[in-house]
Structure 1
Amino acid sequence: MNVPPALTNTPVVDRAQAMVELQGVTKRYGEVDALKRVDLSIRKGEFVTLLGPSGSGKSTLLNLIAGMITPSSGRIVIDGRDATTLPTNQRSLGMVFQNYALMPHMTVFENIAFPLQVRHLPKDEIRRKVEHVLDLIQLGHVAGRRPRELSGGQQQRISLARCIVYNPALILMDEPLGALDKNLREQMQLEIKRLHADLGITMLYVTHDQDEALTMSDRIVLMNGGKIEQQGQPDELYFKPATVFSAEFIGSSNLIPGIIEAAGTTGLSLRTAIGTFPVPAADHPVANGDKAMLLVRPENMTLGGEPEVTSVSGRIDDSILLGGVVRHFVRCEDQSTIIVQELNKPGRPVAKRGDQVRAGWPPAHARLLPATAPH
């Protein structure tokens, strides 16, 4: 298959508008390249999330921008200034980590005021700035408390307030919500998104949690094996993944391998172990005989044999109730499994384990992907 050399959808960023530029940055540890010639630009005021599994290079990239480590090769520019070898304290940035790093002997007010005191600001200005950020995070009522008297969510908001109080040009966040429970994590996602909208500070956020990335980001940079696999707006990565890795990492996926047939003006079809299906036009060059993957999201599939959909026969192996949706696992004739996700509506037909069904999808809601990763 003819695969393009890069499927990263790299946005064009005017250098005057760039807060961060990475130019051919590599980080090598012995024989291992943790990052491999990465090019990345982040606009001023943009919220960018580095998303990927453990070992993908996302934290290495963040630490390079923070100045915690230096690149083996390449250049790092922050706000128009070459920062490749600058120490962290000269980079005009703030950092928020999973560990709140609040000083236990200080009150909330004193914790937030500390970076301003280090900068020798007048007392009146310190008070004004601290009171302002406490209002922003809606925690003015806890100003006199110690960190141990606060919930985990409150402590993380104080940690964020301490970061934004001195108005850094760039805020780096390394999995700051990892220690919080699900409900609190979701609340904090919205809180961080609101603060970003209010303040307009450039934010670079690292996570392995796709929900966090999809919820908060202006742009997601998906990392894999020390490289950028794909980048774009959240809906672009979800609805238009460029590779099998992107499709599998973001959202749930049905991936059906097959061979391209009838590549030409009459349209494409894919011959698979469970049938031959019409497929939409590909975003990459294809030819008869090429290996490919057909992606269908579970929410785009239905149980039943509607005439306008493509379908396969199978047997219900299991069904899982997930609140407002039900997820069915359908065992096909070749023993592969297809996931069908339906709304959990009152009065819907109930499919039971062992039922013979047809799982279908509209051809327009499928996506053809290259079977191999780009080089």
Structure 2
Amino acid sequence: MIRVSNLTRRYGDFVALDSVDLAVKEGEFVTLLGPSGSGKSTLLNLISGMTQVSEGQIEIDGRDATHVPTNARGLGMVFQNYALMPHMTVFDNIAFPLQVRKVAKSEIETRVREVLSLIQLEHVADRKPKQLSGGQQQRISLARCIVYRPPIILMDEPLGALDKKLREDMQLEIKRLHAELGVTIIYVTHDQEEALAMSDRIVLMRNGRIEQQGNPEDLYFKPETLFAADFLGSSNLFFGKIDAASGTLVTGAGKLPYENAAPGAADTGEAVLMVRPESLSMEAKQNWPGIEAEVLDTVVLGGFQRHYLRADDGTQLTVQVPTSPNAQRPERRSRVTVSWDSSDARLLPPDPAFKSE
């Protein structure tokens, strides 16, 4: 549905987007993820036509759309601020795009009722936006977009203004609508959990370029760079030198086992070992004594506990385990043994420019 080639956007000497290539398939849910200034919103605005291209090409449904005006690209857009017209009822807000397109009145009535049913808000048709909750307003904003049936919908942090519970509910709502309508969605967020929960594919961006892309499982469990490992989820990172003979990384915490390596990671003398918090255990594994650590604190977060530890070499560690009403917390300053299965660790190449986000 969408293909961008060598897409670049400059503002004077500043390069906001740097020679990006990306293809989005029909019906795919693609999330552009990254910190502020990574280029994700710039890329979305270039695709929408709201920002002009400095270099490169944009194709939409096989046609060159690089210099086509926004209103002629056939795209739907959903924003964070809802952009509902306060003086209009919910029905009229949703009907407005159809009225602009001069759709027959009877057809407008049918289609507005259909989308109100789809978002399960038929009972608010006669209310004004100010009479609705934030979640209801966001669903109305979404309904106004899909009522004219665009094949592609662009969403720029649409859930950023909602509280956590409402945001999670809306994530499921958008996923349900995506499945039912079969539309192509490009979604911008800086929220890693949102990206993991909603996407068919995540495009992780950094400094105006694509750092890594793939399905959520690949990006979470098989990051290719330190930045990807650190930005997407929590990571335990050990810095050291490879001992090829023993298949370990020699660190201040000891010789650490691993089986999986990112491309190029095993080709250098120095490397970084990543282990996710849920892969760590506070008990010794067979054939490996583990590493010793001191308990700094424990936090209960609903269905799991997160233990914060410090290894003897000063490395900060996080261990995440399921919790229960009778779960025991280790005492502060107590000593524990931390270990993991070598198949759960991933070797990453060093990055001199790396700085934890």
Output one character per residue of 1:259-286: Cα deviation in whole Å (capped at 9) or x when no partner. Answer: 01125xxx62111111012221423245
**From 228, 235, 238, the counterpart of 1:246:** 228
Call closer, same or farther: CA 1:353–1:143 in 2, change over 3 Å.
same
Matched residue SS, 2:261: coil
Could you tell me how far 1:367 is from its partner in structure 2?
0.6
The match for 2:314 is 335
Q: Distance in 1 between matches of 2:20 and 2:247?
A: 35
**From 117, 132, 143, the counterpart of 2:114:** 132
Q: Distance in 1 between matches of 2:119 and 2:199?
A: 20
1:230 and 2:212 matched: yes
Q: Distance in 1 between matches of 2:266 and 2:126?
A: 69
The match for 2:338 is 359
**From 39, 50, 56, the counterpart of 1:57:** 39
Aligned pairs for 1:29-68 (under 5 A) are 29-68=11-50
1:284 and 2:263 matched: yes
**From 258, 269, 272, the counterpart of 2:248:** 269
1:181 and 2:163 matched: yes
Output one character per residue of 1:10-63: Cα deviation in whole Å (capped at 9) or x when no partner. Answer: xxxxxxxxx110100011111111111000000011110000000000000000
Letter in 1 for 2:299: I
Matched residue SS, 1:277: strand
Matched residue SS, 2:330: coil
Letter in 2 for 1:62: L
Q: Distance in 2 between matches of 1:350 and 1:131?
A: 53
Call closer, same or farther: CA 1:286–1:296 in 2, change over 3 Å.
closer
8 A contact 1:47–1:202 mirrored in 2? yes
Q: Distance in 2 between matches of 1:116 and 1:92?
A: 13
Call closer, same or farther: CA 1:269–1:281 in 2, change over 3 Å.
same
8 A contact 1:52–1:224 mirrored in 2? yes
Letter in 1 for 2:126: G
8 A contact 1:310–1:363 mirrored in 2? no
Matched residue SS, 2:274: strand
TM-score (norm 1): 0.91
Call closer, same or farther: CA 1:357–1:198 in 2, change over 3 Å.
same
8 A contact 2:152–2:183 mirrored in 1? yes
Q: Distance in 1 between matches of 2:266 and 2:33?
A: 32
8 A contact 2:298–2:307 mirrored in 1? yes
8 A contact 1:229–1:246 mirrored in 2? yes
Call closer, same or farther: CA 1:321–1:287 in 2, change over 3 Å.
closer
Call closer, same or farther: CA 1:289–1:75 in 2, change over 3 Å.
closer
Q: Out of 300-309 and 217-226, give the one that drifted further.
A: 300-309
Output one character per residue of 1:155-174: Cα deviation in whole Å (capped at 9) or x when no partner. Answer: 00000000000011211100
Call closer, same or farther: CA 1:281–1:323 in 2, change over 3 Å.
closer
8 A contact 2:262–2:346 mirrored in 1? no
Output one character per residue of 1:195-247: Cα deviation in whole Å (capped at 9) or x when no partner. Answer: 00000111100000011111111110000110000000111111111111111
Matched residue SS, 1:68: coil
The match for 1:150 is 132
Q: Distance in 1 between matches of 2:267 and 2:132?
A: 63
Matched residue SS, 1:156: helix
The CA RMSD measured in Å over matched residues stands at 1.5
**From 46, 66, 71, the counterpart of 1:84:** 66
Could you tell me how far 1:310 is from its partner in structure 2?
5.5
Aligned length: 353
1:319 and 2:298 matched: yes
Letter in 1 for 2:156: D
Q: Out of 331-340 and 178-187, give the one that drifted further.
A: 331-340
Matched residue SS, 2:142: helix
The match for 1:305 is 284
Q: Provide structure 1 residue ranges, at least 5 long, that are not aligned to the other structure.
A: 1-18
The match for 2:181 is 199
1:170 and 2:149 matched: no
The match for 1:10 is none
Q: Distance in 2 between matches of 1:309 and 1:124?
A: 73
Letter in 2 for 1:87: P
1:296 and 2:275 matched: yes
Matched residue SS, 2:84: coil
Call closer, same or farther: CA 1:176–1:72 in 2, change over 3 Å.
same
